[in-house]
Amino acid sequence: MNQDPPDTDRLEGLLDRTLRRLPLRRAPRTLEARVLGELNRRASQPWWRRSFTHWPHAARAGFVATGVALAGLVLLGGSRLAMALRTLEVAGPASAWLRRVAAGAGAAGNLAASLADAIPQGWLDLGLAAAIVLYACLFGLGAAAYRMLYLQPQKPAGEFR
Amino acid sequence: MRAYQDMVFSTAARLTGNDAPAEDIAQETFLRAYENFAHLRASPTAGGWLKTVTTNLALNHLTRYRKRWRFFSELKIDDAEEDSAGLAYESAVPDTLLEHLGSEQRRAVIDDALRRLPEHQRVALVLYHFEDFSYQEIAERLHASLAKVKTDIRRARAALLPMMLSAGIAP
C-alpha cells in the first residue's frame, strides 16, 4: 500500500499531464449525416407538429386563447350540469337518458361487487402474487437485456487483464 | 459543425463511457446549436457553449440511467469495483506514463481504462482533468459532498495507474 501524500501528488500531476495531452476522439462518420437528417426531418414537419416554441406567434396566441376559453367553458358547464342534475325531476327526455346511464352504471357496479364477493380471498391473493412475480420477471428480463445488449459491447477487449 | 464534432463527441464519450449514447448526445448538442445558430455563428465562445451543453446533456443522461437501472446493474458493479479501487496503487508512481506509445494508441488505451472505472469515479475524474471543473464545482454539479468527490477522484487515479502499467503497456 502506497498512499504517501507525495506519491498522491505525483500521481495527480502525472495523470493530469497525460490526460490533458490526449488527442480528441474522432466523432463517428455517421454523426454529421444524422444531424443533417434530423434537421431535414424537423424542417419538413408542418408547424403544428413541431414544439410549441416553434409555432407562429398567431397560432400560439390562438392556442392559449382557446385553452383559456375551453377551461372557462368546462368550469361553467360543470356548474350548470350540477345544477341540472339537482333538478332532474322537472327535466325532459335528456334527464331520462341521464337516469338510464346512472342506473346502468349502478347495476354494473353491483355486478362487479357481487363477483368480487364470489371469488375466494385465496384466489385473489394468488392472482395478486402472480401479477407481482410476473412484473418482477419482466423487470429482471429488461435489466438483463440492458446489461447484455447495451453494456457488454462497450466493455474493452481486456487489454489490461 | 466539423470543427467541433470531435470535441463534442469526445466529451460525451468520456463522460458516459459508452459510444452509442455519446453519439445521441452529440447529435442533440448540434441540434440545439442549430436552434441558437443566430447567436453562435459569430460568437467567439461557441466552443465553450457546445462543451457546456454536451457536459450537461451527458450528466443528465447518466442521472436518468442511474435512476432507472441502478438497482439491477450498477449497484453491484460499483461496490465490487469500489473495493478493488480502495486498495489504492501498489506500484510506485513512474515519472512518465505511456510515453512510448503514439498519441492515438495512448488515447485508445486511456479511453478504454476510463470506461472500466465505476461511473461515479469516471465522471468526477473526467470533469476534473478534462473539463477543468474544480472539486467544489464537481460536488455541486453531482450533488455529492466535497469529500466524496475527492475520494472518488483519488480512487479513480489509483485504479487507472495499474491499468496503464499492466500488460506491458507502460515502460
Over 70: is that where the pLDDT of A42 sits? yes
Residue range B41-45: average pLDDT? 77
pLDDT at site A88: 61
Q: Which residues of A110-144 are buried (b: 16+ CB within 10 A; e: fewer)?
A: eeeeeeeeeeeeeeeeeeeeeeeeeeeeeeeeeee
Q: Are B5 and B31 in contact (CB under 8 A)?
A: no
The cell for A156 is 474493452
Q: Residue holding cell 386563447?
A: A65
Q: Compute the radius of gyration of chain B from its Cα atoms.
A: 17
B117–chain A nearest CA distance, Å: 11
Angstrom distance (rounded) from CA B155 to CA A93: 78
CATH code linked to domain B1-71: 1.10.1740
Domain boundaries, chain B: 1-71, 86-171
Closest residue to A24, CB basis, from B7, B157, B164: B7
Which CATH number, 1.20.80.30, 1.10.10.10, 3.30.1330.10, 2.60.40.10, labels domain B86-171?
1.10.10.10
A16 inside 8 A of chain B by CB: yes
Angstrom distance (rounded) from CA A126 to CA B155: 49
- Predicted complex ipTM: 0.73
The cell for B50 is 457546445
Question: Which residues from chain B sit within 8 angstroms of residue A42, using beta carbons?
Answer: 31
pTM: 0.62
pLDDT band at B56 (very low <50, low <70, confident <90, very high): very high
Q: Are B118 and B76 in contact (CB under 8 A)?
A: no
* A66-82 confidence digits (pLDDT tens): 999 999 999 888 888 77
pLDDT at site B85: 45
Q: Do A16 and B116 touch (CB under 8 A)?
A: no
Over 70: is that where the pLDDT of B54 sits? yes
DSSP 8-state secondary structure symbol assigned to residue A2? -
Instruction: Look at B8-17, B68-77, B110-119, B122-131 and tell me which has the smallest mean pLDDT.
Output: B68-77
Instruction: Look at A57-66, B8-17, B105-114 and tell me which has the smallest mean pLDDT.
Output: B105-114
Nearest CA in chain B to A148: B73
Residue range A54-59: average pLDDT? 89
A121 inside 8 A of chain B by CB: no
